[in-house]
């Protein structure tokens, strides 16, 4: 049976302060039988069901009122690393930082990952559809996720990815047969809970980072740089951040050696504008078998808070993927926003097919945070009018998406949800699937 666990401090609110609801019970998941028991409890008591880790992020993507909540943070083992097959199989509760370290210990690495705390659970990264971070100019997160197992609301398991579909076991081949990976990628937990994940073992690379300060109005020059480098294999990451001044960060890698990496760095530096005074960091062999340097990027906040480590500050924002042709307008919109008494940044992450633009804020004041968050979330239609699509939708983008989405596509997605979750029990009311809420009851209080 699943074991009861005390609620984490952030269980009822996400890091932005959104109220997620009061769960009926939180169950600590250590294995698949624990998860199956928690799902059975939700079905027996006619309650909603949701899965989460130690904290929830800021796009309001969980519905916990009266729910049985599965805490996956202890479901985090590396099950097997099969170098001959080129695949590692891990439990979905492992954090991205821990997974990256485990892969690097075997000469591999995560080729694309968020650059924040690194404490996002792998299952959450799949459920929320991670598309931005270190490596995004060269790789999509799903490229390295070659298969996984999903547990459905009734406790059955579904095998996803060509190797698993054919043989019912882990494997390194994702494509070639009907591929359901993308159906679950970004479904926000509305279809099932990812349990085991197959990660391709891709060789660790020789890595470097170029950083420099820029003018505040350098967005057009940065977009021009991105268009110059917008081919796979030139740079891994191009990130431009404004926090009162502009800062450019470029990550590069080489599969060959440090000499070839040095040549790439020289070529990229030669294309930088005249104002650039680049600082170059080359990450040695300790990083190739340690922790990705990408996680060490920090954004200083008030009272010494940083992106990672220590207490997480009240952090909120709004993110979208913007076409290259609308980046200038989107950046002007972000700079013009009137959000007071908060520490703010505007971040642009450039990918091969669009730019992830985010307005991110922190504040120690509850009142200032509520005012600024309301201003941001009211701007969703303005951002959508710039042909933007949500980085991750959650409840923040749900109404805007429902009003603009193709009706036939919506009905198809919801038909899929009815097949996999006929009672609408899985994280109800969130995202495009918008399952009807299961009956909610008063929470139980257990010792």
9, part of any domain: no
Within 168-247, residue ranges assigned H as helices are: 181-184, 219-228
171, part of any domain: yes
Examine the domain organization and report whether 244 and 258 are in the same domain. yes
pLDDT at residue number 312: 55
Examine the domain organization and report whether 123 and 170 are in the same domain. yes
375, part of any domain: no
Tokens encoding 416: 């899929």
User: Along the chain (447 residues), what's the average pLDDT of each consecutive run of 10 residues?
Assistant: 45 74 92 98 96 79 90 96 94 92 90 76 89 84 93 96 84 84 91 96 90 89 92 88 89 91 94 89 73 51 34 76 95 89 86 91 82 89 92 82 84 92 90 53 36
In this structure, are residues 196 and 91 in contact, taking their beta carbons and an 8 Å threshold?
Answer: yes
Examine the domain organization and report whether 157 and 216 are in the same domain. no
**Angle, CA of 296, 297 and 299, to the nearest 5°:** 130
CATH, residue 274 = 3.30.70.920
Examine the domain organization and report whether 90 and 186 are in the same domain. yes
178, part of any domain: yes
Report how far residue 46's alpha carbon sits from residue 438's, in angstroms, rounded to the nearest whole number.
7
Phi, psi of 363 (to 5 degrees): -160, 140
User: Residue 113: which domain range?
Assistant: 78-200
Examine the domain organization and report whether 175 and 274 are in the same domain. no
pLDDT at residue number 18: 79
How many Cβ atoms are within 10 Å of 164's Cβ, its own excluded?
22
Helix (H) or strand (E) holding 101: helix 96-104
Report how far residue 53's alpha carbon sits from residue 119's, in angstroms, rounded to the nearest whole number.
9
Examine the domain organization and report whether 176 and 258 are in the same domain. no
407, part of any domain: no
Report how far residue 291's alpha carbon sits from residue 297's, in angstroms, rounded to the nearest whole number.
12
Strand, helix or coil for residue 194: strand
Examine the domain organization and report whether 128 and 166 are in the same domain. yes
86, part of any domain: yes
Examine the domain organization and report whether 271 and 227 are in the same domain. yes
Examine the domain organization and report whether 179 and 219 are in the same domain. no
**Angle, CA of 318, 376 and 327, to the nearest 5°:** 55
Residue that finishes a domain, picked among 288, 304, 326: 288
Tokens encoding 196: 């085991």
pLDDT at residue number 406: 87
Phi, psi of 132 (to 5 degrees): -130, 150
Residue that finishes a domain, picked among 266, 288, 310: 288
Contacts of 374 (CB under 8 A, 6+ apart): none
In this structure, are residues 430 and 398 in contact, taking their beta carbons and an 8 Å threshold?
Answer: yes
6, part of any domain: no
90, part of any domain: yes
Residue that finishes a domain, picked among 258, 288, 318: 288
Report how far residue 173's alpha carbon sits from residue 87's, in angstroms, rounded to the nearest whole number.
9
pLDDT at residue number 290: 64
Number of structural domains found in the chain: 2
Pairing of strands 68-71, 49-52: parallel
Q: Is 416 exposed, middle or buried (0-12, 13-18, 19+ CB in 10 A)?
A: middle
Q: Please, what is the end-to-end C-alpha distance for the chain in angstroms?
A: 16
In this structure, are residues 266 and 210 in contact, taking their beta carbons and an 8 Å threshold?
Answer: no
pLDDT at residue number 302: 32
CATH, residue 106 = 3.30.465.10
Helix (H) or strand (E) holding 252: strand 246-254
Examine the domain organization and report whether 279 and 236 are in the same domain. yes
Examine the domain organization and report whether 84 and 162 are in the same domain. yes
Examine the domain organization and report whether 210 and 193 are in the same domain. no
Give the neighbor-by-neighbor strand order of the sheet with 355-362. 279-283, 206-214, 246-254, 237-242, 343-350, 355-362, 315-322, 389-390
What residues does 241 pair with on adjacent strands?
247, 347
């Amino acid at each position: 049976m699943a074991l009861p666990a005390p609620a984490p401090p952030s269980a009822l609110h996400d890091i932005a302060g959104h109220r997620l609801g009061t769960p009926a019970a939180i169950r600590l998941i250590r294995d698949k039988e624990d998860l199956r028991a928690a799902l059975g409890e939700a079905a027996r008591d006619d309650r909603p069901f949701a899965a989460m880790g130690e904290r929830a992020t800021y796009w309001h993507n969980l519905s916990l009122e009266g729910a049985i909540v599965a805490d996956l943070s202890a479901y985090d083992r590396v099950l097997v690393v099969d170098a001959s097959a080129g695949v590692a199989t891990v439990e979905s509760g492992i954090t991205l930082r821990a997974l990256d370290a485990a892969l690097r210990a075997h000469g591999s690495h995560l080729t694309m990952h968020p650059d924040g705390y690194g404490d996002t659970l792998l299952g959450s990264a799949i459920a929320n559809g991670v598309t931005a971070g270190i490596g995004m100019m060269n790789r999509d997160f799903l490229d390295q996720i070659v298969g996984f197992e999903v547990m459905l609301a009734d406790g059955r398991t579904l095998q996803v990815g060509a190797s698993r579909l054919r043989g019912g076991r882990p494997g390194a081949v994702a494509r070639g047969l009907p591929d359901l990976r993308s159906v679950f990628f970004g479904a926000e937990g509305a279809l099932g809970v990812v349990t085991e994940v197959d990660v391709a073992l891709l060789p660790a690379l020789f890595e470097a980072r170029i950083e420099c300060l820029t003018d505040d109005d350098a967005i057009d020059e940065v977009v021009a740089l991105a268009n110059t480098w917008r081919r796979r294999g030139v740079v891994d990451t191009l990130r431009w951040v404004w926090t009162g001044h502009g800062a450019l960060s470029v990550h590069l890698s080489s599969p060959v050696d440090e000499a070839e990496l040095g040549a790439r760095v020289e070529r990229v530096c030669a294309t930088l504008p005249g104002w650039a005074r680049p600082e170059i960091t080359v990450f040695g062999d300790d990083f190739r078998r340690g922790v990705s340097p990408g996680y060490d990027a920090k954004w200083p906040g008030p009272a010494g808070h940083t992106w990672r480590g220590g207490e997480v500050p009240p952090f909120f924002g709004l993110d979208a993927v913007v076409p290259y042709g609308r980046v200038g307008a989107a950046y002007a919109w972000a700079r013009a926003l009137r959000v007071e008494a908060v520490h703010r940044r505007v971040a642009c992450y450039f990918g091969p097919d669009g730019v992830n633009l985010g307005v991110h804020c922190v504040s120690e004041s509850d009142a200032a945070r509520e005012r600024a968050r309301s201003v941001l979330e009211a701007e969703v239609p303005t951002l959508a009018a710039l042909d933007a699509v949500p980085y991750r939708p959650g409840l923040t983008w749900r109404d805007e998406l429902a009003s603009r989405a193709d009706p036939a596509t919506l009905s198809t997605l919801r038909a899929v949800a009815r097949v996999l979750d006929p009672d609408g029990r899985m994280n109800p009311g969130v995202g495009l699937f918008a399952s009807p809420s299961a009956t909610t009851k008063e929470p139980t209080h257990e010792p």
